[in-house]
Amino acid sequence: MEATLDKISAKEKFLSQFIGLEITPENEYLLKVRGEAQEALNSLEFPTTKDEYWKYTRIGKILKGTYSQTPSFGVSDVEKFKIEGLEVNLLVFINGFFSEELSEISEKENIVIQPLAKARKSHSDIIEKYFAKYTDHNKQIFTALNTVYHTSGTFVYSKENAAIEKPIHIINITNAESAAFNPRNLFIVGKNSEVKIISSYETIRGSSFTNSVTEIILHENAHLSQYLLQNESENSSQINTTEVYQESNSNFNIHTITTNGLLVRNNLNISLEGEHIETHLSGLHLTKGKQHVDNHTFVDHRQPNCQSNELYKGIMNGKSTGVFNGKVMVRPHAQKTNAYQSNQNILLTDDASINSKPELEIYADDVKCSHGSTTGQLDEEAKFYLRSRGLSEDSATKLLLNAFAEEVLRGIKLLPLREKIEKYIEERYENIVAK
Amino acid sequence: MPIVLAVAGKVFQFKMAYTEEQILQEVTTREYEHGWSSDIESEKAPMGLNEDIIRLISEKKNEPEWMLELRLNAFHHWQKMKEPRHWPHLSYPEIDFQDVYYYAAPKQQAKYDSLDEVDPEILATFEKLGIPLEERKALAGVAVDAVIDSVSVKTTFKETLAELGIIFCSFSEAVQEHPEMVKKYFGTVVPSTDNFYATLNSAVFTDGSFCYIPKGVRCPMELSTYFRINEAKTGQFERTLVIADEGSYVSYLEGCTAPMRDETQLHAAVVELVALKDAEIKYSTVQNWYPGDKNGKGGIYNFVTKRGICLGDNSKISWTQVETGSAITWKYPSCILKGDNSVGEFYSVALTNNHQQADTGTKMIHIGKNTKSTIISKGISAGKSNNSYRGLVKINKGADNSRNFSQCDSLLLGDTCGAHTFPYIEVGNKSSIVEHEATTSKIGEDQIFYCNQRGIETEKAIGLIVNGFAKEVMNKLPMEFAVEAQKLLAISLEGSVG
């Protein structure tokens, strides 16, 4: 009995820390969604490692944390988080709140780029059409948490036949001691349109728990390239849930690069709802110390003639742990599906570990589905070759790790962004390679 | 014009212009071949499960007190356990564990010295199965420990084996005659609290086989047991324990067929293998129990826990299985690679048809240094069946320089079946290399075209391709078994295999 009480109070204590700054629902629909999520939040329990979906990730660290909601700004310099040499539509969020003065949105014509809090008022019809339609806020407790307590986020709505040249760069900055945020994003790419979105998570000082939920809708023939750059402080945690809904002939690309953070869990669910869809997922993480990075992907082939491709790589040092759980589902109707999954890992120490679970669930026969998973270490012979040509131990290791990471990075078509990521990785190597 | 092909002693008729669909149709509508029931009087305990039944089984077996205690402990633990309904990719109706006979034995309890004394009905049953004991004895050089229902009826070649110090007997006999060995190893690989079905088995197991190979002995023949589920509504709870002492080698075969039944039959066996230093155990299974009719009615529920431990350095355990039967297959033959340089292997062909469901695979637990494991799994799904591979490769922190290679291929025949792959890969050592790959596809049209081009008809081509698909595993079977296994695959895909 006592144990149950403890459990309840622990959950309540955790949840109570979010009350206060959330957006109040403006209309009946939003009120209804919030009500559903609140109900789910009351009835659902936080997952433990006994849940298959959370088998390898313990979230105790997150649940035991004490958080505060501080809209303290006082940030004037975001220069170092920008991407040098890349013109973008910039949105800056500090401690989960939109900063008008630090943001620059130049594109206005064929696209709406706004903080969600504002869009909920100005574009209530679109919000009502799409918001919370693609999430599992009834079943997933972290999505429910976000649905009830989100403070802001980004709203992107591109019209039909619009190629938006300038990428959208959303910078989420932590500048507080143990803060908790629930960013909520909604990206809608109209028919025949093309949009590029970069989301980066950075820390100036302190630590944070970010529970982000993003809904992405790609209409017919739409193209979206998304770059997720997770570089928070090493005692910050993040649960990042992305739900993607793709219509016929659409094309979705995502790169998830995790260079820092204590516990990072990415849930990426993609629903292929039309024919001739292409979807490419890739990820790279470099971890050390007691870091834990978990990439969960679910690609649901619901219609024929689609193609999906996954490539996730991990480099693990120290006592860090990595998880890859990719699932490809091919529904009975989805003939001519072409799906590929690949997970490759390098362990640099005996204390590091990786848990890989690439799954295929196939109900159609005329398909080509395969997956591969490898775990190993740097090739000693290759290293010797480089050493014999005068490279130091460290440079040889770096060079080989670079070669390993390149396969993921080469997919990043925005060169200035790629350079920035390479720089982050370089900094990371210094930590990783150094004894 | 119909053409006639003679295949594996059977004659099939083909129409000239067979389309792929027709062939698949034929495959899916094939009836179970080994469907009959032999009339052997049997002795049953009352239906249901309680402490009294366990005491009765123990008493019937004339077991020592410690064995009864083990059973009762397992039973008490089992009462607190839940059925694993959630994680396997299987769906089947609720099993009423009180609606099962936990003990049935052929009435004649006498031990035989020669074949003449064996009940002719039993002999006839073996005849139908194609394993005449007397011929086996003379021709194949196989010692058969035949198990009908739960009591060992006949053990051959015992004397030949005894000369080498090899013990090969029924489990109950081992409890009587070699209690020290049973006591030492029983439940060490699969603890009686391991999982729902293993615990149930530990409480109610009736008989099985026991095998001990002494130090440095290479068993001169393939040891084999034929299991048959015979009495209607009799759950079979077999228990097998194989111990290979230092430097020894044994190849163990297990083959199964069962008569056609309408009610669902429960089977929960436990197999434990122990390989000491430098020892090698090769364990092969052909499983062809009644899979249910083409509407998914009846069929065996097969929940098996098979596990081997490479206890000593340089030891090796190899599992080979051909799974074509049972309505439900839940089976993960595993290796615990504890000794340094030990090797674990798993070769599997799983074929499901009609409404069959299989969730099978392996676990390779690397604990010792320089341990190696290989997994080759081939799944073939047809009809409305579902076939899943589920496997774990775990490299522990201290398992330096360990190596694993896994390959899981699935072949789909028709668009109403499913093929699934659920690998779990857990690596905690930087000097180890783990590789896993899996593919799923249907028979390539270009492959069929290639065959057609060279004058091989479509139906033959499909057979050729399926055979080729499974060849890697079939090659691992011992000679004596390979023929039967190939026959099984051929029968299971009848009409398409030429």
Note whether A376 contacts B87, CB cutoff 8 Å: no
Which amino acid makes up residue B111?
Answer: K
CB contact under 8 A, B430 and A349: yes
Alpha-carbon gap: B443 to the closest alpha carbon of chain A (Å): 9
Question: Does A32 map to a domain?
Answer: yes
Residue A235 in any domain: the answer is yes
Query: Hey, which bits of A122-262 come out as E strands?
Result: 154-158, 168-181, 184-189, 194-218, 223-231, 237-246, 251-260
Residues B430, A345: C-beta atoms closer than 8 Å: no
Does residue A278 lie within any of the structural domains?
no
Q: Which residue has the higher pLDDT, A44 or B497?
A: A44
d(CA B55, CA B81): 21
Asked if A82 and A210 sit in the same domain, the reply is yes
Q: Tell me what pLDDT residue B135 has.
A: 41
Please identify, among A209, A241, A273, the residue that sits at the C-terminal boundary of a domain. Answer: A273
Contact assignment for B434 to A377 by CB distance below 8 Å: no
Residue A372 included in any domain: no
Check: CB of residue A193 under 8 Å from CB of residue A168: no
> What's the whole-number mean pLDDT along residues B343-358?
91
The verdict on B397 touching A (C-beta cutoff 8 Å) is yes
Q: Is the pLDDT of residue B30 over 80?
A: no
> Which chain A residues are closer than 8 Å to B441 by Cβ?
367-369
User: Do the Cβ atoms of B87 and A52 come within 8 Å?
Assistant: yes
| Mean pLDDT along residues B372-384 | 92
The CA-atom distances, in angstroms, between A45 and each of A24, A48, A62, A141, A208 are 24, 9, 14, 7, 22
Q: Which of B20-24, B262-266, B278-282 has the weakest average pLDDT?
A: B20-24
Share above pLDDT 70 across residues of chain B, in percent, rounded to a whole number: 72
Which one of A344, A346, A362 would you mutate to disrupt binding with B, by most B Cβ within 10 Å of its Cβ? A362
Whether B419 and chain A come into contact, CB under 8 Å, resolves to yes
Q: How many CB atoms lie within 10 A of CB A15?
A: 17
Q: How near does any CA of chain A get to the CA of B296, in Å?
A: 18
Q: Which residue of A has its CA nearest to B88?
A: A52
The lowest-confidence range among B204-208, B305-309, B362-366 is B204-208
Both tokens of B268, joined, read 């929960």
- Cβ within 8 Å of residue A32, ≥6 positions away: none
Residue type, B47: M
Out of B417, B420, B430, whose CB is closest to A377?
A: B430
Q: Taking 60 as the threshold, does the pLDDT of residue B33 lie above it?
A: no
pLDDT one digit per residue (tens) for chain A, 435 residues: 445 556 667 888 888 888 877 888 888 999 999 999 999 999 999 999 888 889 999 998 888 888 877 666 667 778 889 999 999 999 999 988 898 889 999 878 889 999 999 999 999 999 999 999 999 899 999 999 999 999 889 999 999 999 999 999 999 998 888 888 899 999 999 999 999 999 999 998 888 999 999 999 999 999 999 999 999 998 899 999 999 999 999 999 999 999 999 999 999 999 999 999 999 999 999 998 899 999 999 999 999 999 999 999 999 999 999 999 999 999 998 999 999 999 999 999 889 999 999 999 999 988 999 999 999 998 889 999 999 999 998 889 989 999 999 999 999 999 999 999 998 888 887 766 554
Does residue A18 sit within a domain?
Answer: yes
Neighbours of A185 (CB within 10 A): 20
> Would the pLDDT of B288 be above 90?
no
pLDDT for residue B445:
80
Task: State the total domains in chain A.
Answer: 2
Q: Does A99 reside within a domain?
A: yes
- Residue of chain B nearest A354, judged by CA positions: B427
Q: Is residue B285 scored above 60 in pLDDT?
A: yes
Residues A109 and A248 both lie in one domain: yes
Q: What angle do CA A304, A308, A312 make, to 5 degrees?
A: 160
Note whether A261 and A386 are same-domain residues: no
Range of weakest confidence among B167-176, B229-238, B285-294, B455-464 = B229-238
Q: Is it the case that residue B441 has pLDDT exceeding 80?
A: yes
> Which residue of chain B is at minimal alpha-carbon distance from A333?
B415
8 Å CB contact of B431 and A377: yes
Indicate the residue of A347, A368, A371 with minimum beta-carbon distance to B438: A371
Q: How many Cβ atoms sit within 10 Å of the Cβ of residue B263?
A: 11
pLDDT band (50, 70, 90) for residue B456: confident
**Three-class SS of residue A176?**
strand
Range of the domain at A233: 2-273
CB contact under 8 A, B423 and A357: yes
What is the mean predicted confidence (pLDDT) over B276-284?
95
Q: Is residue A132 domain-shared with residue A248, that is, in the same domain? A: yes
Q: What is the pLDDT of residue B498?
A: 28
Whether A376 sits inside 8 A of B432 (CB atoms) is yes
For residue B452, CA distances in Å to B6, B80, B446, B449, B462 come to 20, 59, 10, 5, 11
Does the complex come out with an ipTM higher than 0.90? no
CA B265 to mean position of chain CA atoms: 16
Domain boundary (A224, A249, A273) is at: A273
- Find how far residue B185's CA is from the centre of its chain: 21
User: Could you tell me if residue A121 is inside a domain?
Assistant: yes
Contacts of A359 in chain B (CB under 8 A): 420-423
Quickly count: other Cβ atoms within 10 Å of residue B112's Cβ.
14
Sheet strands (E) in B109-201: 143-148, 151-155, 167-170
Residue keyed to tokens 């630090």: A102
Instruction: Determine whether the interchain pair B421/A364 forms a contact, defined as Cβ–Cβ distance below 8 Å.
Output: no
Domain boundary among A240, A256, A273: A273
CB contact under 8 A, B425 and A356: yes
Q: Do the domain assignments include residue A305?
A: no
Please, which pLDDT band fits residue B27 given cuts at 50, 70 and 90? very low
pTM of the entire structure?
A: 0.84
Any A CB within 8 A of B431 CB: yes
Q: With both helix axes pointing from N to C terminus, report the angle between B458-474 and B20-28 in degrees, rounded to the nearest 10.
A: 50
